[in-house]
Amino acid sequence: MKQVLLVFLGGGFGSALRFLISKNLNSVSSIPLGTLLVNFFGSLLIGFILGLGMKQEAISPNTTLLLATGFCGGFTTFSAFSFENQALLKAGDYINFGIYSAGSIFLGIAAVLIGIWLSKLS
């Protein structure tokens, strides 16, 4: 039950922060900038956390649940990414659809790799 509560708490904080960032940044650009940044930084953070978790005793399994599964799971969002891409396609905005889709995928994978690399430096 403790593990479920850790995921629940982390997910709540992550979701609230994602909402605030997306609400304030998605309207400043023709692509959903808030979601893009949230997914990039969430990917960076989960890479760092899981990289630390690979080190013996660098981070506890419960901390990994709270931060990686809970916070990062609530903070990043594939469903919003998919919906926003659908909206770009529906509007016929194929250039921004391509930039946003490719950028999100590339930046997300790159951020995880960078996060793992950063965890090895600590």
Residue list, annotated binding site: 73, 76
Residues making up the binding site for Na(+): 73, 76
- 74/62 Cα distance (integer angstroms): 16
Q: At what angle do helices 33-54 and 94-121 cross, to 10 degrees?
A: 30
- 60/110 Cα distance (integer angstroms): 25
Residue 28: exposure state from Cβ atoms within 10 A (0-12, 13-18, ≥19): exposed
